[in-house]
A and B are shown apart, each in its own frame.
Chain A
Amino acid sequence: MPFLKKYLLPRIVQYLVVILIGATLIFFVPRLMPVDPVQQTLEKITIQGAFLDPDAIEQMRATLQDLYGLKGGLGAQYLTFWKRLFKGDFGPSFAQFPTPVMTLIKTSLPWTLGLLVTSTLLSWLLGNILGGLAAYYHERKWASVLESIAMVMRPIHYYIVALGLLMLLGYAIPLFPISGGFSIGRKFILTWDVMLDILKHALLPALSLVIVGTCTWFMTMRLLVSNLMAEDYIVYAQVAGVPDGEIAFKYAIRNALLPQVTGLALSLGQIFGGALITETVFAYPGLGTLLYSSINAGDYNLMMGITLLSVIAIATGVLIMDLVYPLLDPRIRYD
């Protein structure tokens, strides 16, 4: 099959190479940081006031290096790293020793995924449809109203929007809880009550993300569609009396969507890095905070785990887009 050989195979090879290079970088970059996790742990112990004689400290250092996978030269460490990786094991977290990195990621991931996948998809859909329509019906009044809103909102920094929403809807008009992923003290069982509670807590962070995301997609889509407006095939369809709604969706938005689909794949991949500012402002549990604290603590393994997950996610997103693209644009061929 020429499809397999000429299209799929090179892309899968490329995909694997990207992950290989990514993982290698992830291995080396933290080791170039001026934070030594072994030293930090030792400091943590000595800071508590216990007196230890230097021999004991040296012994402890050796044990910690062994446990953390930091024994031997870089080459030996790199080999151990790959051996562990193939078993799906990122090793133990240094900062929260001995909890495995996988367990930490697994507790944070659902929060991040639930919040970011919904808000990313929603803002993509809203932004593209509204942006496309605003560009197509540019002489209508509502289109210029929408455009002005997006124009004003987009340059505002995200944390200002988030804090503003928090103050407005969490404090001034207390419609939503101001922090956390669920009410404190609530048992974590799957019931309607718990679901509702989680949803209520997620709404405000999601709203902030959707507002800013929609405005960003809106602006790009509006530009893309207004560039298409003078295209011959749109004018031709208009002359032929095809209803405007049909032209707007099937001719203008449909054709401008291709670069936006790539954008969506990339931003879906970026989800796995978490949304640090959202998580900080709304005290929401998630991967962003986890990654941030791991960097501060010099927690190599956790850092590598999250970053590698992110690399794999983005590479997978791009691979899927590469495979789907010919379906969206028939001019792109498999060979």
Chain B
Amino acid sequence: MDVLRVQDLKCFYVVESQGQQREVKAVNGVSLNVKKNQVLGIAGESGCGKTTFLKSLLGLVRPPLRCLGGKVEYIGNGKATDIMSLSKHQHKELMWEHISYVPQGSLSVLNPVRRIGDTFESFIGAHMEPSTTKHQYEELVCSHLEALGLPEDTLRAYPHQLSGGMRQRVTIALATILKPHLILADEPSTALDVVVQRGVIQLLKDIQEEQQNTIILVTHDMAIHANICDRIAIMYAGKIIEEAGVEEIFSNPRHPYTQYLIGSLPRIGDKAHRISAPGSPPSLSDLPQGCSFHPRCPEATDNCRKEEPMLTGIGGDHRVACLSLTRGDFNADQAQVALDQ
């Protein structure tokens, strides 16, 4: 059963400079269905529209970002709601109870002059039944913190008194305490060192297993994706170019870009030089014609420069947007990188 359905979503930053309107096509026609009780990873280079995509899923579309088409439907309690057309009040009600968010950069997202406990109070207080007693509230918060391995003192601390890992745990605790159906996580582990990173990611996964909710996890770190995700969608220049189950992506990447991405991952014992995609991602305000990857693609043909590939199923639930797939396989030996476990 689907929890989220995205149909041909187009969210552009519309900026005016020197009297000319420019569109930065950060989310450029994304279609995606997310199933219940699934961890979907969204991967891609910096500046490919991952964070903007997540923002638009949250309904956080504010100028200069504008939604120019498409639909984001959240399916909960047996009915579908279009997130883009909600009133402010409806949006506030949907948020946190149904959809919650783990932000990037945990120092700046917690109010520096309020204690963590106060933040909990205002975040949860807004969504609690009015009949809830103070005692019930305290029990809820304390048991949740305990389950996440956070000491109760955390509530009395100010954000700057906690370590980065603790703060990220706090944001995870905030996002999961009301047991939402869908959690959107934006680079939750990026600012942390590898050891803490693992703990935070593991925590997210444990909670997901216990609460049976859906997570959409945005990160550029393929190792994290391999660790926690069920499915992976690869984004490039505002589009999803490949989407498949995690093992399928790692063992059988089809899009040349995905192959580069996975081919660049280090493997223990293998000292061979890693090949990464030549060049850099295109400017989102000036996309190349046809397939936006063609300037970096070794297999590009004239057709690629003219025709825009569509995301099409190629068996199983593997979907790829590449014209070359109709012409047979590309560089099969580069695709030989399998999961490292």
Contact = CB atoms under 8 A, between A and B. Distances in A.
Interface of A: 231-233, 235-237, 239-243, 246, 250-251, 254-255, 328-331
B96 A331 contact: no
Contacts, number: 68
Given A240-B174, A241-B95, A233 B110 contact: yes
A239 to B, nearest CB: 5
B112 A255 contact: yes
Contacts of B96: 240-241
B123 A242 contact: yes
Nearest to B111: A233
A246 B148 CA distance: 27
Contacts of B118: 250
A-B CB proximity, top 10 nearest: A241-B92, A232-B108, A241-B95, A236-B109, A330-B158, A232-B109, A233-B111, A240-B123, A242-B122, A241-B96
Interface string B68-95: 0000000000000000000000011111
A239 B101 contact: yes
A330 B113 CA distance: 6
B160 interface: yes
Contacts of A231: 108
B103 interface: yes
B127 interface: yes
A98 to B, nearest CB: 55
A116 to B, nearest CB: 30
B93 A240 contact: no
B111 A255 contact: yes
A235 B105 CA distance: 13
Nearest to B60: A239
B114 interface: yes
Contacts of B126: 240-243, 246
Given A236-B103, A330-B158, A331-B160, A241 B127 contact: yes
A240 B95 contact: yes
B89 to A, nearest CB: 10
Contacts of A254: 113-114
Contacts of B183: none
Contacts of B216: none
Q: Give the interface centre of A254, A328, A331 by most chain B CB atoms within 10 Å.
A: A331
Given A235-B60, A254-B113, A330-B160, A243 B92 contact: yes
A239 B183 CA distance: 12
Q: Give the interface centre of B91, B94, B111 by most chain A CB atoms within 10 Å.
A: B111
B58 interface: yes
Given A242-B122, A255-B113, A232 B105 contact: yes
Q: Give the interface centre of A232, A235, A240, A329 by most chain B CB atoms within 10 Å.
A: A240
B304 to A, nearest CB: 39
B120 to A, nearest CB: 11
Contacts of B94: 241
Interface in B175-201: none
